[in-house]
């Protein structure tokens, strides 16, 4: 197990071409509010990526009242905060960066490629399936991962994919690659 | 100067991100930004070769979804139906486009004042059911999962499946 490597959730647009500066700032701000609800910086989060387990120190700027009010909506806050964490975790654990964003009915998906790899299409890109849980036990994180993997395997999703679920309260991040034939 | 699909898609990404940022505060501006993002995405789609099946599926779904988010139901239907006529469309894109067409039909049958919010019943565990108001099925599921995770039963109940039904059916459309 790796211990106390950092997980950088700020400045994601500098490393991920699929994020604009405005979107990266929005996700970071939401993540800060999510983290403040349960922890004080820095806090160690456990990242599980297939067989690898790491404890990662997460640092963030404590949010002010204005940010907390702006992110009062549970669903939006957790979704955007989880996006920052999952994209950062994919970079740290898998060496992949978000290269594209594409819209869906209910939101937007990010597509991952190995850092430094150029591609002029999305034929081999991994879709990042992001989900977050504000509070709840680690078991809820695993259950959410199972649910997301099942969604992907039901064939209505883009394959291949990486499922990334963040439990803010229980300080857990799980990344799981899903490979299946359509 | 030629503009390839990648540049057009980048343009669409930026416009969609801007639209998302102002969606809760300035709805008209958001709709206009989504409309421009959809136009850029449709132009991007034209530049993707038929052999790039997966890329066409992803960008096609994105174009139809952007039309839907802009409130252009006719445009969303047109893009979705055109793509569904393509024989090489991957399964995920077919499923997403059919869902977009269902959304279009559902929204058409609602009064404009009620568009954007529906009531969903979400079965989170074998025993726990939540009724939530949300714009989309996905948002309703997220909301219900949040409520479940915060609840006192989260430790003792097994999350087995999520089954979502629209609880309040819109009135039937008159032809």
B92 contact residues in A (CB cutoff 8 A): 155-159, 182
**pLDDT for residue A120:** 84
Average pLDDT over residues A134-153: 91
Q: What is the pLDDT of residues A168-182, one digit of tens each?
A: 999 999 999 997 544
User: β-strand A108-114 against B118-123: which pairing, if any?
Assistant: unpaired
Minimum CA–CA partner of B154 in chain A:
A136
Please indicate whether, in this complex, the C-beta atoms of B159 and A143 are within 8 angstroms of each other.
yes
What contacts B153, CB < 8 A, 6 or more positions away? Answer: B125, B128
CB A65: neighbour CB atoms within 10 A? 7
Res A83 pLDDT > 90: yes
Question: Where residue B20 falls among pLDDT bands split at 50, 70, 90?
Answer: confident
Question: Of A145-149, A160-164, B19-23, B36-40, which range is least confident?
Answer: B19-23
* Interface test with chain A among B11, B130, B145, B163, by most A beta carbons within 10 Å: B145
Contact of A43 with chain B, judged by CB distance below 8 Å, is answered with: no
Nearest-Cα residue of chain A relative to residue B69: A105
CA dihedral (B2, B20, A47, B125) positive or negative: negative
Average pLDDT over residues B115-137: 65
Cβ-contact A24, A16 below 8 angstroms: yes
- On whether any CB of chain B is under 8 Å from the CB of A136, the answer is yes
Rounded distance between C-alpha atoms, residue A46 and residue A2, angstroms: 10
Amino acid A170: pLDDT: 97
Average pLDDT over residues B144-149: 70
Q: Can you give the pLDDT at residue B170?
A: 38
Beta bridge partners of B119: B133
Share of chain A above pLDDT 90, in %: 72
Q: What is the pLDDT of residues A106-131, one digit of tens each?
A: 788 899 999 988 778 999 899 999 99
* Separation of alpha carbons A135 and B151, rounded Å: 9
pLDDT at B57: 94
Interface predicted TM-score of the whole assembly (ipTM), two decimals: 0.82
Average pLDDT, rounded, for chain B: 78
Tell me how far apart the alpha carbons of residues A125 and A105 are, in angstroms, rounded to a whole number: 20
The pLDDT, as a whole number, for residue A106 is 77
| CB < 8 Å from A in window 53-112 of B | 53-55, 57-59, 61-62, 65-66, 68-69, 90-92, 95-96, 99-100, 103
Q: How confident is the model at residue B161 (pLDDT cuts 50, 70, 90)?
A: very low
d(CA B91, CA B101): 15
**Do B81 and B61 contact (CB within 8 A), yes or no?**
no
A102 vs B62: CB contact, 8 Å cut-off? Answer: yes
Task: With cut-offs at 50, 70 and 90, classify the pLDDT of residue B13.
Answer: very high
> Is-contact A94 A136, C-beta < 8 A?
no
pTM, rounded to two decimals: 0.77
Return the pLDDT at B14. 92
**CB nearest A23 (choices: B6, B17, B59):** B17
Residues B48-105 pLDDT 10s: 999 999 999 999 999 999 999 999 999 999 999 999 998 788 888 998 999 999 999 9
Question: Exposed (0-12), middle (13-18) or buried (19+): which is B132, by Cβ within 10 Å?
Answer: buried
Contacting residues of A for B148, CB less than 8 Å apart? 136
Q: Does B52 touch chain A (CB under 8 A)?
A: yes
Share of chain A above pLDDT 70, in %: 93
> DSSP letter at A63?
P
* Least confident range of A152-161, B102-111, B162-171: B162-171
For B27, phi then psi, to 5°, come to: -65, -40
Q: What is the mean pLDDT of residues A151-162?
A: 75
Partner-chain contact B58 A102, CB within 8 Å: yes
* pLDDT given for residue B168 in this prediction: 42
Best mutation target, B3, B54, B73, B134, to test chain A (most A CBs within 10 A): B54
Which among A76, A121, A158 has CB closest to B52?
A: A121
CB-CB under 8 Å, A106 with B139: yes
Chain A residues close to B59, C-beta within 8 Å: 102, 122
Q: Would you state the pLDDT for residue B165?
A: 57
> Hunting for tokens 């940010």 — which residue is that?
A67
pLDDT for the residue B125: 67
Measured at the CA of B156, the angle between CA B133 and CA A52, to 5 degrees, comes to 90
Q: What is the mean pLDDT of residues A156-165?
A: 81
Nearest to residue A34, comparing CAs of A8, A10, A63? A63
The alpha-carbon gap from A143 to the nearest alpha carbon of chain B, in Å, equals 7
pLDDT tens track for A25-70: 999 999 999 999 999 999 999 999 988 999 999 999 999 999 999 8
Q: Do B16 and A101 touch (CB under 8 A)?
A: yes
- pLDDT value at residue A180: 57
Helix (H) or strand (E) holding A165: strand A161-167
Asked whether the predicted pLDDT for residue B41 surpasses 80, the reply is yes
* Averaged pLDDT for residues B148-175: 49
Q: Which residues pair with A111 in a beta bridge?
A: A100, A127
Q: What sign results for the dihedral spanned by CA atoms A24, A29, A34, A38?
A: positive
Q: Which residue of A has its CA nearest to B101?
A: A105
Closest-CA residue of A relative to B53 is: A123
CB atoms within 10 A of CB A127: 25
Contact of A52 with A176, CB cutoff 8 Å: no
What mean pLDDT is predicted for residues B134-146? 68
Q: Does A143 touch chain B (CB under 8 A)?
A: yes
How many Å apart are CA A112 and CA A109, to the nearest integer?
10
Q: Is B155 on the interface with A (CB under 8 A)?
A: yes
């Amino acid at each position: 197990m790796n211990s106390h490597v950092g997980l950088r959730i700020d400045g994601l647009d500098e490393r991920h071409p699929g994020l604009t500066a405005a979107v990266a700032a929005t996700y970071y701000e939401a993540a800060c509010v999510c983290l403040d609800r349960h922890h004080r910086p820095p806090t160690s989060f456990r990242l599980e990526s297939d067989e690898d387990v790491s404890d990662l120190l997460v640092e963030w700027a404590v949010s002010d009242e204005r940010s907390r009010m702006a992110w009062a909506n549970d669903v939006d806050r957790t979704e955007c905060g989880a996006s920052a964490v999952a994209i950062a975790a994919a970079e740290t654990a898998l060496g992949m960066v978000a290269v594209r964003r594409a819209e869906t009915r209910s939101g937007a998906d990010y597509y991952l490629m190995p850092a430094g790899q150029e591609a002029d299409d999305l034929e081999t890109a991994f879709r990042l399936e992001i989900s977050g849980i504000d509070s709840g036990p680690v078991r809820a994180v695993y259950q959410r991962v199972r649910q997301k993997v099942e969604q992907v395997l039901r064939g209505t999703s883009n394959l291949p994919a990486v499922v990334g679920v963040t439990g803010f309260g229980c300080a857990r991040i799980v990344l799981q690659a899903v490979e299946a034939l359509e | 100067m030629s503009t390839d699909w990648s540049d057009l898609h980048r343009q669409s990404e930026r416009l969609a991100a801007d639209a998302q940022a102002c969606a809760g505060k300035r709805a008209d501006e958001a709709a206009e930004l989504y409309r421009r993002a959809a136009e850029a995405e449709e132009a991007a789609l034209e530049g993707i070769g038929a052999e790039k099946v997966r890329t066409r599926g992803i960008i096609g779904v994105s174009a139809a979804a952007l039309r839907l988010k802009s409130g252009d139901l006719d445009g969303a239907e047109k893009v979705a139906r055109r793509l569904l006529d393509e024989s090489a469309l991957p399964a995920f894109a077919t499923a997403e486009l059919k869902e977009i067409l269902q959304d279009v039909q559902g929204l058409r049958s609602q009064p404009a004042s009620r568009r954007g919010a529906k009531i969903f019943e979400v079965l989170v565990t074998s025993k726990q059911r939540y009724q939530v108001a949300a714009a989309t099925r996905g948002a309703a599921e997220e909301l219900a999962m949040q409520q479940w995770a915060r609840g006192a039963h989260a430790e003792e109940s097994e999350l087995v499946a999520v089954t979502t039904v629209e609880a309040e059916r819109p009135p039937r459309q008159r032809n």
